[in-house]
Amino acid sequence: MKKHIALLIIASIVLSLASFVAAEEVTLTMGSWRNEDAEPVQQMLDKYKEISGVSIRFEPTRNTEYNANLRLQLEGGTGPDLFYSRSYTVGRKLYEDGYAMDVTDIPGVMENFDDTARHAWTADDGKVFAVPFAAVNHVVYYDKDVFAKYDLEVPTTFEELLKVCETLKENGETPFANGLAENWDILECVFCGMIPNYIGGFENRELYESGERKLNDEYFLRALSDFEKLTKYFPEGFQSVANADGPMLLGLGRAVMFIDGSWRSGAWDVDFPDFNWGAFAIPAPEGNAQAICHHSDMAITGNNATKHPEEVKGFLEWLASPEGAQIVTDCLPKGFFPMISSDVKLADEKTAGLKALSDDAIRDSRFMWNTLFELYTPLVDNLNGIANGTITVEKAADALTKLQEEIVAK
């Protein structure tokens, strides 16, 4: 009897193994930091399966833990076949360490994207290591009804913006909903959104990266002092206002404007569907050309250690083709724009409006993303100091310059 049972078990194991092998079709995995996008991305991957027959499973991790997790997986040989690549430093490091695929020769990558789009994912050796996928704009959201109530126009210069703030404040409104509680948005959303208006496009940013321009020059000082002026219009107790509080404050009518990224544009859909919002680019100070922080955010690349390189390359090729890009765009969450040069239609009107803000402006990624990443924490600390009034703009600029010199010297 015992023998029979043993035989049965063995037989069933063999059978199940056999059926598994027979039914095996290629399933790729895709790593990502956007776990909030699981649904739209799955839609996109389902459509890709209809076209190619290759199924891809979306396996996102938490945004803040993605870099570390992905690295551990790649080092341990269990990395996903496809993964989202961070722009600049972090993504480049994975290419240099041999994990991210060189996608330069994949058809479409060189033809369908322009240099600006590819720039964030181009290594020092000139190779492209990921297919650009989505970008975002840094904008000012505003409550259209309140603007109408006080007869305010969308400001076109920073000075006008301050006047708008003053009018709102006099009428007992809180002009801005930004705060310091999370210690990243004040730099990434607010200050990085302002910088291009003061220093210009990426050619000028590179001057800071090479050390030719200092962080205490007139342009950067002006940016810092305008930032200081702006913080005067943050809410009472802005020190404890978190990034996620911003949309709530606007939706509840407790604040009028909010500087954040276009990725936030879907925030009011569920809780405040009637909230009548608009958006404008953070205006440039008088005399400067309008620029905008148009951040290259997402790209997808292949894992060099994948067991299915053909399928991975096939997907990346599709991603880099105009037809693929259109489908991807249809599935992108609100507030993300495709980076392909071909004419892609954005179905969501609001997203199209957000993208239009950067169409005629000077565009650049976040200031320290390329080589000045070590300035991230010092910048956050100094912006906190300026907002709290514990450090002067000049002192902050001098401290940052010292660090900049150290980084450049390395």
Partner 1 sequence: MTTKKRRRNGLHPGGSYWMMYILPALAVYIFFMAYPMLDSIRLSLYNSNVVPREFVGLQNYIDLFTDKTHSTRFWGAFKNTWVFFFFHMAFQNVLGMLFAVILTNRTMRGKRFYHTIVFLPCTFAVTVTGYLFRMILSPVLSGPAFKSVGLDCLVYHWLGDEKTALAIVSLVSVWQWVGIPAMMFFAALQNVSEDVLEAAEIEGCNSWQAFWYIKYPLILPVVGMIAILTFVNNFNAFDIVYAMEGPTGPPNYATDLIGTLFYRVGVVGVNVTPPEPGIGAAISTSTFFMLLLGVIPTLKVTQTKE
Q: Where do contacts with partner 1 occur on this chain (CB under 8 A)?
A: 64-65, 67-68, 71, 75, 86, 89-90, 93, 97, 174, 177, 179-184, 235-242, 245, 248-249, 254-255, 373-374, 376-377, 380-381, 384-385, 388
C-beta closer to partner 1: residue 16 or 377 = 377
**Minimum distance from CB of 279 to partner 1 (Å)?**
21
The CB-of-368 to partner 1 minimum distance in angstroms stands at 10
DSSP of 267-320: THHHH-TT--EEEEEPPBPTTSPPEEEEEEEEEEEEBTT-S-HHHHHHHHHHHT
Task: Report the alpha-carbon distance of residue 65 to residue 195 in Å, rounded.
Answer: 28
Give 89 or 341: the residue with its C-beta nearer to partner 1.
89
Residue 240 or 276: which CB sits closer to partner 1? 240
Cβ neighbors of 366 (< 8 A, separation 6 or more) are 188, 192, 293, 295
Backbone angles phi, psi at 137, to 5 degrees: -110, 150
Q: State the nearest-atom distance from the C-beta of 292 to partner 1, in Å.
A: 21
State both tokens at 45: 């991957």
* Residue type, position 61, single letter: T
Nearer to partner 1, 219 or 234 (CB): 234
Q: Which is nearer to partner 1, 37 or 245 (CB)?
A: 245
Q: Minimum distance from CB of 115 to partner 1 (Å)?
A: 24
Query: Of all helices (H) and strands (E), which one includes residue 160?
Result: helix 158-170
Q: How many helices (H) and strands (E) does the chain have?
A: 19, 8
Spatial separation of the C-alpha atoms in residues 159 and 175, rounded to whole Å: 14
**From the CB of 302, what's the least distance to partner 1, in Å?**
19
Closest distance between partner 1 and the C-beta of residue 34, in Å? 15
Q: Which two tokens stand for residue 324?
A: 């693929």
Of the two residues 251 and 314, which places its CB atom closer to partner 1 in the complex?
251
Cβ neighbours around 388 below 10 Å, total: 12
The first and second tokens of residue 350, run together, are 């609001």
